[in-house]
């Protein structure tokens, strides 16, 4: 068995693709419209789906917003230099919701970014 992808629903597919590709540095791997179901799926990630887990962005054409709820936590991404990455994300228009620094009760350096729909992305500096 292998983890394939995590699906999140997005309210503006183009804005989300721009965020995950331009700001977070992922690639758009594939995209397909499903007119009969009135939705589009777009897959983004850092590597090929055959080898790495990716994110499935689901855009339901007739839905303009979602309640994020309180069960989903975040997506985590490893980075080499968290301070440089956060500066680049901020300069590119991304929102840093928690500035880089040691996690509470530990020494791992983390930060949090919000995507256009408000989903949390945790950046974890490689040790």
User: pLDDT tens, 64-100?
Assistant: 889 888 888 999 999 999 999 999 999 999 999 999 9
55 and 14, same domain (yes or no): yes
**Cβ within 8 Å of residue 66, ≥6 positions away:** 9, 11, 117
pLDDT at residue 68, as a whole number = 86
This prediction's pTM: 0.91
Q: Is residue 67 part of a domain?
A: no
89 and 113, same domain (yes or no): yes
- Domain residue limits at 101: 75-125
Q: Is residue 88 part of a domain?
A: yes
52 and 85, same domain (yes or no): no
Q: How many domains does the chain have?
A: 2
79 and 119, same domain (yes or no): yes
Catalytic residue annotation: 122
Q: Is residue 103 part of a domain?
A: yes
Phi, psi of 9 (to 5 degrees): -90, 135
Is residue 46 over pLDDT 90? yes
Encode pLDDT of 1-24 as tens digits.
Answer: 899 999 999 999 999 999 999 999
Report the distance separating Cα 70 and Cα 91, nearest Å.
29
């Amino acid at each position: 068995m292998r983890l394939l992808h995590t699906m999140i629903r997005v309210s503006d597919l183009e804005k989300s693709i721009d965020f995950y590709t331009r700001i977070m540095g992922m690639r758009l791997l594939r995209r397909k419209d499903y007119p009969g179901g009135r939705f589009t799926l777009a897959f983004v990630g850092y590597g090929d789906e055959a080898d790495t887990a990716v994110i499935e962005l689901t855009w339901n054409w007739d839905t303009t917003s979602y309640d994020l709820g309180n069960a989903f936590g975040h997506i985590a991404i490893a980075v080499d230099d968290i301070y440089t990455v956060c500066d680049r994300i901020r300069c590119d228009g991304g929102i840093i919701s928690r500035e880089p620094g040691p996690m509470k009760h530990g020494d791992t350096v983390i930060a949090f970014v919000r995507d256009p729909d408000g989903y949390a992305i945790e950046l974890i500096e490689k040790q």
